[in-house]
Amino acid sequence: MQKLAKDSIGRRTRFRRVARGKRLFFTERDLAILQLLHRYRYLRATQLASLLQPQSQNRFIERLGDLYHEAGLINRPTAQWRRFDARYQPIVYELSSKGLALLYSQGEPPPRAVTFSVGAKVSPAPQFEHAMMIVDALVEAELETRKAPGQRFVPVDEILERLPARSADRGAPRHPLAAPVTIRPNPHMPSATKPMATHLIPDALYGIEHLIDGEKRYRFYALECEFKNPHRRSTTRLSSTALKRAAYEAFIAERGFRKAWGIPNLEVRVIKRGDCAH
């Protein structure tokens, strides 16, 4: 009989899958968990609980453990264990290939909130810590809309479904949100002496639907999460916060969001490390 891997107080280790042979029956709540992980790619156990509002927090956390250890429907990304305080942080989950297959067998998966979701053919996931900054900001935005009467969070897939037809651009990155923009000489980029054609790719794009006097109105937001980007570089070939600021100012002034993303307005939301609560 295989000896179970346990921690210092007799619990199953959180660092690798250890099954006890427990029999599980798949439930609607389990399906909701898989749907949320498809929507966001990565979610902390605490975020799953906040989004699903279980009656018992402890039993919900135990169920996540069963879906990981026993059913193999969800994974715990190994990148999270690099943190020095990983043992004291809420566990981050993602869909396993088995969980993804089961989700698709249940019908059309829900719209994604991130372009790097599991199953996406383009837009590979950014660095894990950066990806979690994006997820934290989006989950916070969705939870805030749930508290406000007449508001609804609009995920990126709903926006992408309405994208206007675009002609092929051989110079464009293979990213669904890549938008062309021309940056002209400006105070943010003193090294730029002539117009520069480039592509702007936000870390995320989402909207908030407001129901006012029976009429739906929308505000849209481009999210930029500054993880390690320097303020300015000596060349415009490398990313910097100054280059992004100049690109967004030009993009908004030209109303490029209408042609690129088919939306009527745009605000830029910049998140720095430590801005979002976990």
105 and 158 share a domain? no
What's the pLDDT at 232?
Answer: 45
- Among 55, 86, 109, identify where a domain stops: 109
What's the pLDDT at 37?
Answer: 97
102 and 131 share a domain? no
Question: What is the per-residue burial (b if ≥16 Cβ within 10 Å, else e) of 248-276?
Answer: bbbbbeeebbeebbebeebebbebeeeeb
Contact (CB, 8 A) for 179 and 257: yes
238 and 123 share a domain? yes
Please tell me the number of Cα atoms within 13 Å of 37 on its side-chain side.
Answer: 31
- Rounded distance, CA 65 to CA 68, Å? 5
236 and 123 share a domain? yes
166 and 49 share a domain? no
- CB-based burial label for 32 (10 Å; 0-12, 13-18, 19+): middle
74 and 134 share a domain? no
20 and 117 share a domain? no
87 and 158 share a domain? no
What's the pLDDT at 75?
Answer: 96
What's the pLDDT at 224?
Answer: 95
The ranges of the chain with pLDDT < 50 are 1-3, 230, 232-238
What's the pLDDT at 236?
Answer: 47
**Residue 56's Cα: distance from chain center in Å?**
26
Degrees, nearest 5: CA angle 63-66-70 = 160
229 and 93 share a domain? no
What's the pLDDT at 88?
Answer: 84
Query: Parallel, antiparallel, or unpaired for β 196-200 and 204-212?
Result: unpaired
- Rounded distance, CA 78 to CA 70, Å? 18
Number of domains in the chain: 2
What's the pLDDT at 272?
Answer: 85
- Rounded distance, CA 270 to CA 278, Å? 17
Instruction: Give per-residue pLDDT as tens, 88-112.
Output: 899 999 999 999 999 999 998 999 9
Tell me the one-letter amino acid at 223: L
Specify the CATH number for the domain of residue 13.
1.10.10.10
83 and 116 share a domain? no
What's the pLDDT at 159?
Answer: 95
Q: What is the pTM of this model?
A: 0.85
What's the pLDDT at 13?
Answer: 74
Look-up: residue for tokens 């979690």? 132
- Rounded distance, CA 200 to CA 180, Å? 6
Going 242 to 248 to 249 to 254, the CA torsion angle's sign is positive
The residue range of the domain holding 163 is 111-278
131 and 251 share a domain? yes
94 and 118 share a domain? no
